[in-house]
Homo-oligomer: A and B are copies of this chain.
Amino acid sequence: MRTHSYGAMRKVSARDFAYAEIKEQIIKGTLEPDSPIVEDHLATDLEISRTPLREALHRLEVEELVVRQNNGRLKVAPISKKEVEEIFTVRSKLEGIVVMQATENATDEDLFHLTNITRMIKESLKEGHRENVLVYGSEFHSYIYELSNHKTAVGILSQLNDHIHRYRQLIPLRNEERLEDSYEEHQAILNEIAARNPGAAKVAAQYHIDQSLEAVKESIEHIQASIKKET
């Protein structure tokens, strides 16, 4: 097994290493949708034995990034328009819950931090650093997740976001203005949190997710031929 040795870094188990590695490859698209997974090959690639690998694969199967076929073999999960819609629908509601809680828990310090992140998004936009816009956008959401202190919703959101990140990689956004709209939506969420208005913050958060879904759907429709229809 490949070992990194960053000073006193906590040694990670072969299982967790495999889980993280395979998940990343699926999200990045290195492992393409529908491509077959053979335990022995993957174990050799990752330089671990099949025992911890199987535990990692089983988890990915439960999380539906990997699916089992009728013949008992695994493959990388296919993508489907219906699944994207479902994921965003659920995500919208959960982000609503989480933002509402975060609004109630936010201290002035937290507001300051969120304001800074939002400013970074704006500047990245202005300077055309599209990559950074996404990075700070994720940071904005993550910070709100932490603030919410809602372990159940956040746990589910993390899983859903893995899937969403994969779709983002696989389906290039068509609408060039989406990033700017998205910034405005973040700003709106922040404003409502700052105004200590949980209900309005919830609405703003849900609007943000719903708009993201619309953008993704539009992109999907453009390349629909290559996307397998929901089974």
Interface residues, chain A, CB within 8 Å of chain B?
15, 51, 54-55, 58-59, 62-64, 83, 86-87, 89-90, 93-94, 96-97, 150-153, 155-156, 160
B86 & A151 in contact (Cβ 8 Å cutoff): yes
Interface contact A156-B156, CB-CB below 8 Å: yes
Copies per complex of this chain: 2
A97 contacts B93, CB within 8 Å?
A: yes
Q: List chain B residues, Cβ under 8 A from A93.
A: 93-94, 96-97
CB <8 Å contact, B86 and A150:
yes
Docked-complex contact B58 and A90, CB < 8 angstroms: no
A63 proximity list for chain B (CB < 8 A):
62
Assuming A89-B153, A90-B97, what are 13 further A-B pairs, CB within 8 angstroms?
A54-B55, A55-B55, A58-B59, A59-B62, A62-B62, A83-B152, A86-B150, A86-B153, A87-B152, A89-B152, A90-B152, A90-B156, A152-B160
Interfacial chain B residues near A153, Cβ < 8 Å: 86, 89-90
Tell me, in angstroms, the Cα distance from A4 to B231 when the chains sit together: 32
Residue of B nearest to A91 (CB): B152
